[in-house]
Amino acid sequence: MRAHIVAGIGLALLIAAPAHAEPDWAAVGKALGKSGAQAPGHIYRVGLPRSDLKVKLDGVELKPALALGSWLAFQPMGDHDAMVMGDLVLTQPEVNPVMKKLVEGGLEVTALHNHLLRSEPATMYMHVSGHGDPVKLAAALHDGLQESATPLGETAPAPAAAAAIDLDTSAIDQALGSKGKVNGGVYQVGIPRTETIRDGGMEVPEAMGSAIAINFQPTGNGKAAMTGDFVLIASEVNPVLRALRENGIEVTAVHNHMLEDTPRLFFMHFWANDDALKLAKGLKAALDKTASGKKS
């Protein structure tokens, strides 16, 4: 009898306990000026492709999905607060005006650097972070983005059917040991690290930029322009760098994206334009130097 009473009390307390409601994502999208979509891990992710830019690298005009995709991701923290992280693609004249507005709005800049070499016009990548009321964070980010020509719009476009792409994606999947997807004329592959990644004590899911990213843009006759970044711990940096260079893949940047990450991470960006399957095999040689793959 006593056990039934205790169980009943416990159930009543569980029902009565206030649950942390997710933020009003529609209000966040309205404040930002661009709506997003739910991603795994209770993440609200907003894509902000720089479709206004016409960037060329080694004669290849880069599609936004290859290397010009700004994004922001919001993660609930309880009590209607959220953490936001993101990566803003900016031209050099946009950097300081955007940074000024973001800092004034209470956002933190966690990194500023290149991802590419020789691109015309040159692009810079500003990584941002913030904690607090998600609508206020979105409004501050909107004010910062207004200092750039980043296209904004109240609603996200309806998802289009995946178009065919001029690459043997099955062979690429087999070579990498991971399956990708077509997005905006680019074949994108995301590969998580095996350990849990945290920043400032908060878990950083794949949708917030903790996964290895590999992008292929067809350039004809089985070739592809390829870029992305490896997510590495310190002991992996030079083994991966050597594997990439041995396979004809250029390393274009090595740097941080976060400030309080555990484990400490380094992001290695790369570039090549060659036979897509050859490049995929070269990437697999580098992946084999990392703790990456499906989490158990």
Q: How far apart are CA 1 and CA 12, in angstroms?
A: 17
Distances (CA, A) of 153 to 33, 108, 291: 6, 24, 39
Q: Are residues 190 and 69 in the same domain?
A: no
Residue range of the domain that includes 103: 22-156
Q: Are residues 63 and 172 in the same domain?
A: no
Q: Are residues 285 and 253 in the same domain?
A: yes
pLDDT of residue 294: 52
This prediction has a pTM of 0.88
Q: Are residues 137 and 172 in the same domain?
A: no
Q: Are residues 148 and 168 in the same domain?
A: no
Residue 18 reports pLDDT greater than 90: no
Q: Are residues 170 and 247 in the same domain?
A: yes
At 85-125, the pLDDT tens digits run: 999 999 999 999 999 999 999 999 999 999 999 999 999 99
Q: Are residues 87 and 167 in the same domain?
A: no
List the single range of 71-85, 153-167, 204-218 with lowest mean pLDDT.
153-167
Number of structural domains found in the chain? 2
In a domain, 12, yes or no: no
pLDDT of residue 21: 67
pLDDT of residue 11: 44
In a domain, 4, yes or no: no
Q: Are residues 26 and 137 in the same domain?
A: yes
Q: Determine the average pLDDT of the residues in 134-138.
A: 98
Q: Are residues 185 and 137 in the same domain?
A: no
160: Cβ contacts below 8 Å, ≥ 6 apart? none
Q: Are residues 186 and 250 in the same domain?
A: yes
Q: Determine the average pLDDT of the residues in 244-252.
A: 98
Task: Report helix, strand and coil shares of the chain as percent, to nearest 5.
Answer: 30, 35, 35
Higher confidence at residue 222 or residue 156? 222
At 3-16, the pLDDT tens digits run: 444 444 444 444 44
In a domain, 7, yes or no: no
In a domain, 180, yes or no: yes
